[in-house]
Structure 1
Amino acid sequence: MTDEEILSLHAQHHGVLNMAPQMAVHNREELGKAYTPGVAVISKLIERYPELKDKYTLSGKLVAMVTDGSAVLGLGNIGPAGGLPIVEGKALLYKDLAGVDAIPLTLDQVPVAEFVQTLKNISKSFAGFHLEDIEAPRCFEIEEQLRQAVDIPVYHDDQEGTAIVVLAGLINAAKVVQKPLTDLKVVLNGLGASGVATARLLIKMGVKQLTLFDIDGQVHPDSPEYNQYQREVAQESLVQEHFDDLSSAMVGQDVFIGLSTADVLTAADVRTMAKDPIIFALANPKPEIDPAVAKDGGATIIATGSSQYPNQVNNILAFPGLYKGLLQTDLKQVTWELEAQIAQALAQMISQPEPAKIIPGVFDDGVVTTVAQSVIDFAKSQHRKGD
């Protein structure tokens, strides 16, 4: 499809979403039930019992998708207005794939405290916040502070979504090459929002032999050029060896996870890795290494972020089902334990993993249902622990 066709299609519909009524209003009786005077009954009740707003209004099922457009994948800082089509498109996926109602919102690139306060001020209208395309490190600060400020779930797709799907793929990749997950030696290149969250989750799962790289080279616990969140994950890694560059770090590694930019890895780099190399080249629109080049270098398993190749590691596998599940529970936090359970559920959808199939496809039957059920099961387990 050409650029002109895409623009024409979106202009024709003024975007990809609209509002649909849940009740008909064709006469006075229906008007009285849907709006005045009937609505006064609901308003008076909610005035006395504010928590009932979630039962009698849209707030109990509506997710706010919020961006400031400061870190859009493949496009960079394109501003709040530029980020709007991204969250609008994801809101469409929520509805189409999971039946979840989501509304796209953009905020100016204001200080963290103002950003958080703005969302807190409107939080009574929503059942959860989905943060999207917010640059690091402010995305970490926003998520942490917002979780403390509101009593509804807060989820940052660039962090938690990426981490969940990478872990799901890696669980099955480890099975294919017959190596214990916790023994894997991993180079992770690109320690932005998604990289930090992925490193955190892998460490929690026992994968601690992590060598971390970003734009200024290797990340160490005392690296002055990196932020506190990047230094903290480096502190938790068991790898203390210093490498001059990415190529030297690749020698003897089991896994490369790229959450960075195109063409940073070569076939020669892959050849220096341990037996049965695993390559997750997830940069979009162009991966860190072309799959054909990685295969030429001897890679056993290759995953990308693109639908053009097998093993697409994409957040779309996680977020629709995740919020579908959250809306059916009373969970208020997306914890690493919940992320791990979702990842394991996704991995288990592939009963016999093989190099070309380590993770479900975006349109495979049961993805949303599996993720939602894993959230519901997790909530039940938390209740049992609390009994």
Structure 2
Amino acid sequence: MSKVTKEMALEYHREGKPGKIEVVPTVPYSSQQDLALAYSPGVAYPCLEIEQNPQDAYEYTSKGNLVAVISNGTAVLGLGDIGALAGKPVMEGKALLFKIFAGLDCFDIEVNEKDPEKFIQIVKALSPTFGGINLEDIKAPECFEIERRLREECDIPVMHDDQHGTAIISAAGLINALEIQQKNISDIKLVVNGAGAAAVSCTRLYIALGVRPENVVMCDSKGVINRKRTGLNAQKLEFATDRDIDTLEDAMKGADVFLGLSVKDVVTPEMLKSMNDRPIVFALANPDPEIAYDVAMESRPDLIFATGRSDYPNQINNVLGFPYIFRGALDSGATVINETMKLAAVKAIAALAKEPVPSVVNAAYEMSNLRFGREYILPKPLDPRLITTVAPAVARGAMESGVARRPITDWDAYNDKLRQLMGYDNKLMRRFTEEAQRNPKRVVFAEANTDNMLRAAVNAYQDGICIPILLGNEEMIEKRAARLGVDITGLEIVNLRHDREADRRARYAMNLAEKRQRDGMTYPEALEMMFDRNYFGMMMVETGEADAFIAGTYS
């Protein structure tokens, strides 16, 4: 990816129609009849239905697919208190992400009001328009009270993504990193640098997952938050430690996990070296982390390192969560986004990282061997499986916790709806796939010792659309599978050059010679051909030992 310059960014935002989003009609509007139905007099009928039953708004309007991104611009993406209007490009960008990743329509609303009580009343008054509200870029500590009040006083999901988005994604990464580093969450010592909205929410969620509060040390710009200090707000006091330490350097000694949501270059190589064996460092300051990636990796080879940047492995990116969390919440008619739903999202995201990575994701990131490990603890943002993994998990969480007003009953249909919504589904191909899955056939893959064909065979097997038979050298195929990070357990490998295949080669050769004798083919010639994978594979089909054969790239 080329470096983003000021000129590139300004041109991107002003070219064509300025901004990043627009409103598009969803119904016919070309005739007088269409306009009469859309507005007067036809619109009166759904209005009266909604007056009698407010829940009908989800049937007759866009409310059930509409999210508001609302900000007062007091803490904009590392830019600080730049004001509501100056924050509008960020809010438009968030609206864009809701649409492209989850198919949710979104209005960005910039409220020029810093007084928390007035801001709460404004947002509450606007809430009937929407199915959910994403609060964004509101400074701490006001953001905690604003979110709490709106969650209590609105009957739709409200979430401050700066708090919970980072918490959910980093928690999923933490679960997987602890598994790789072979550490128990209840035993780890956690250091958090930063005490803003995201840091507080992350720490609370980590504790909900099993981190012991007495093992947490939180620091702010003045050092360790401990009980010797006075004038702490309620959020900082919640995490004040009894330990007699004052500096980040002191806190890092013997720590297992560092979470940074602060400023660049506050962590030194010496601090990392003072941590426990197999440490985990999430340096999430943007755009520059608390310690540079290359410096951190050089100082601790046993380190798992994550940042908020896309140009390093293990990006902690909120887009893995918020589009799908709201998708699941709105689709189930949830009245809130509660802890059960957040934890469901955490576990779903963490579990997806352990699944084999589709070739479309490898291609999108120009990689060939993405797989669960030290440099892949979280799914990539362009993984199309996120919507069918996270949204259903959140919807189930809403139902299990009793906050879903429109429970989902047919999960297969719901997953189909999500795929169709995002354009990931093709009805004709789905019909072919379902037919193949009902009666999977034995398919011979000729060049199983090549990357593309081996991946194809594994993907087909995992999708249940065929029973692959791999032709090639077992040792070579196993080594290639290990390099690619694909699991070939359960796949049959046939090495046609093995002595144990001599009888089968002879039988195939006799069969072929008899069929081609009028063309002058002799048995020795046919037997020689049986050392060629293409001839051998096709004879497997001819004799009924396989149902189909896929030749190589060039044959």
Query: TM-score, normalising length from structure 1?
Result: 0.95
**Paired residues of 1:94 and 1:101 also in contact (CA < 8 A):** yes
Aligned to 1:233: 239
- Summarize the Cα distance change of 1:340–1:222 in structure 2 as closer, same or farther, 3 Å threshold: farther
**Paired residues of 1:68 and 1:133 also in contact (CA < 8 A):** yes
Aligned to 1:367: 386
Choose which of 50, 72, 76 in structure 1 pairs with 2:76.
72
Report the CA distance between 1:341 and its aligned residue: 1.6
Aligned to 1:246: 248
Gaps of 5+ in 1: none
Report the CA distance between 1:383 and its aligned residue: 4.4
Report the CA distance between 1:31 and its aligned residue: 1.2
Residue identity matched to 2:280: I
Matched, 1:9 2:12: yes
**Paired residues of 2:264 and 2:289 also in contact (CA < 8 A):** yes
1:221-250 deviations in Å (ceiling 9; x for gaps):
56324311121233xxxx521212111111
**Paired residues of 1:128 and 1:152 also in contact (CA < 8 A):** yes
Aligned to 1:279: 281
Aligned to 2:520: none
> Mapping of 1:25-36 within 5 angstroms?
25-36=29-40
What secondary structure is seen at the aligned counterpart in 2 of 1:212?
A: strand
Residue identity matched to 1:306: R
> Mapping of 1:153-172 within 5 angstroms?
153-172=157-176
**Paired residues of 2:64 and 2:331 also in contact (CA < 8 A):** no
Give the structure, 1 or 2, with the largest relative contact order (CA under 8 Å, sep 6 or more).
1
- Summarize the Cα distance change of 1:40–1:77 in structure 2 as closer, same or farther, 3 Å threshold: same
Q: Which structure has the larger Rg over C-alpha atoms? A: 2
1:9-43 deviations in Å (ceiling 9; x for gaps):
21122100000001121111111111111111112
Provide the C-alpha distance between the structure 1 equivalents of 2:351 and 2:228, rounded to a whole number of angstroms: 39
**Paired residues of 1:70 and 1:109 also in contact (CA < 8 A):** no
What secondary structure is seen at the aligned counterpart in 2 of 1:223?
A: coil
**Paired residues of 2:218 and 2:224 also in contact (CA < 8 A):** yes
Provide the C-alpha distance between the structure 2 equivalents of 1:25 and 1:316, rounded to a whole number of angstroms: 34
What secondary structure is seen at the aligned counterpart in 2 of 1:203?
A: helix
Further displaced range: 55-64 or 273-282: 55-64
Further displaced range: 331-340 or 200-209: 331-340
> Mapping of 1:125-274 within 5 angstroms?
125-208=129-212, 209-221=215-227, 223-234=229-240, 239-274=241-276
**Paired residues of 1:200 and 1:233 also in contact (CA < 8 A):** no
Report the CA distance between 1:344 and its aligned residue: 1.1
1:306-355 deviations in Å (ceiling 9; x for gaps):
00100000111100111111111122222223212211111111227311
What secondary structure is seen at the aligned counterpart in 1 of 2:401?
A: helix
**Paired residues of 2:336 and 2:403 also in contact (CA < 8 A):** no
Once superposed, what is the RMSD of the aligned Cα atoms? 1.7
**Paired residues of 1:317 and 1:368 also in contact (CA < 8 A):** no
Provide the C-alpha distance between the structure 2 equivalents of 1:319 and 1:313, rounded to a whole number of angstroms: 13
**Runs of 4+ displaced beyond 4 Å:** 383-386
Residue identity matched to 1:319: F
Provide the C-alpha distance between the structure 2 equivalents of 1:140 and 1:38, rounded to a whole number of angstroms: 43
**Paired residues of 2:75 and 2:138 also in contact (CA < 8 A):** yes
Report the CA distance between 1:70 and its aligned residue: 0.6
Choose which of 105, 109, 119 in structure 2 pairs with 1:115.
119
Report the CA distance between 1:382 and its aligned residue: 2.7
Matched, 1:303 2:306: yes
Give aligned-pair identity as a percent.
41
Further displaced range: 160-169 or 51-60: 51-60
Provide the C-alpha distance between the structure 1 equivalents of 2:230 and 2:55, rounded to a whole number of angstroms: 47
Provide the C-alpha distance between the structure 2 equivalents of 1:368 and 1:284, rounded to a whole number of angstroms: 26
Matched, 1:340 2:340: no
Provide the C-alpha distance between the structure 1 equivalents of 2:404 and 2:52, rounded to a whole number of angstroms: 32
Matched, 1:380 2:399: yes
1:81-121 deviations in Å (ceiling 9; x for gaps):
11111111010010011101111001113311111111111
Choose which of 302, 321, 325 in structure 2 pairs with 1:322.
325
What secondary structure is seen at the aligned counterpart in 1 of 2:172?
A: helix
Provide the C-alpha distance between the structure 1 equivalents of 2:32 and 2:65, rounded to a whole number of angstroms: 28
Residue identity matched to 2:308: G
Further displaced range: 334-343 or 111-120: 334-343
What secondary structure is seen at the aligned counterpart in 1 of 2:186?
A: helix
What secondary structure is seen at the aligned counterpart in 1 of 2:305?
A: strand
Residue identity matched to 1:277: P
What secondary structure is seen at the aligned counterpart in 2 of 1:81?
A: coil
What secondary structure is seen at the aligned counterpart in 2 of 1:148?
A: helix
**Paired residues of 1:173 and 1:353 also in contact (CA < 8 A):** no
- Summarize the Cα distance change of 1:91–1:296 in structure 2 as closer, same or farther, 3 Å threshold: same
Number of residues of Structure 1 aligned to a counterpart in Structure 2? 382
Report the CA distance between 1:384 and its aligned residue: 11
What secondary structure is seen at the aligned counterpart in 1 of 2:107?
A: strand
Report the CA distance between 1:204 and its aligned residue: 1.4
Gaps of 5+ in 2: 355-370, 406-555
**Paired residues of 1:216 and 1:225 also in contact (CA < 8 A):** no
Residue identity matched to 1:301: I
Further displaced range: 104-113 or 15-24: 104-113
